[in-house]
Amino acid sequence: LQMPRVNLLIADDVGLGKTIEAGLILSELLLRRRIQRVLILTPASLRPQWHEEMWQKFSLGFDLVDRDKTDRLRRNLGMDANPWRTFSRIIASYHYLRQPDVLDQFMAASRTPDGSPHLPWDLLIVDECHNLMPSAFGDDSDLCKMLRILAPQFEHRLFLSATPHNGHTRCFTGLLEILDPVRFSQVNELRPA
């Protein structure tokens, strides 16, 4: 929490409370008024669990954004309504956000009209981040490409995974580079430095 930018990979084993650890960091950053706008990206099946955990354990309300929520928002507020601009705490599936039209909506909501140097979003939490890591060989997946586009829009980043290393150093260091490009770079082999 004393880091200027809280960019952390939480890599505890399954069932040890990565969600709770992320919630503790999130709630403390909110209490210190260091963040306001938060996006939690997770597999679709884990969205309700995150929603429930954030509410029950931290009294933090989040909006679940998906195609249905977006359609309802547009029926209520008009066709130009953008959930990424409307809500300040969002839980979404990364498979939903990687869709080109949805990613375009997100990026449109992330642009500041006045050219402000401040980033449009404060905290990105990515659960099961190993699903979005760079490829060891060939082109990166659409999920990884999406994460590379999204990550620079956020001041702080928390990546969560019980299996952050798949045996390929290039994948692992690529994930760390997305997490914090100032401290890490994607390499094929780890060096003592």
pLDDT tens readout for residues 91-115: 999 999 999 999 999 998 887 666 5
At which residue do the structure tokens 């994607």 appear?
Answer: 186
User: Residue ranges of the chain with pLDDT lower than 50?
Assistant: none
Q: Write out the two tokens for 37.
A: 């706008």
Predicted confidence at residue 79, as pLDDT, reads 83
Task: Please provide residue 118's backbone torsions phi and psi, each rounded to the nearest 5 degrees.
Answer: -75, 140
Stated pTM of the model: 0.90
pLDDT at 5: 87
pLDDT score for 118: 60
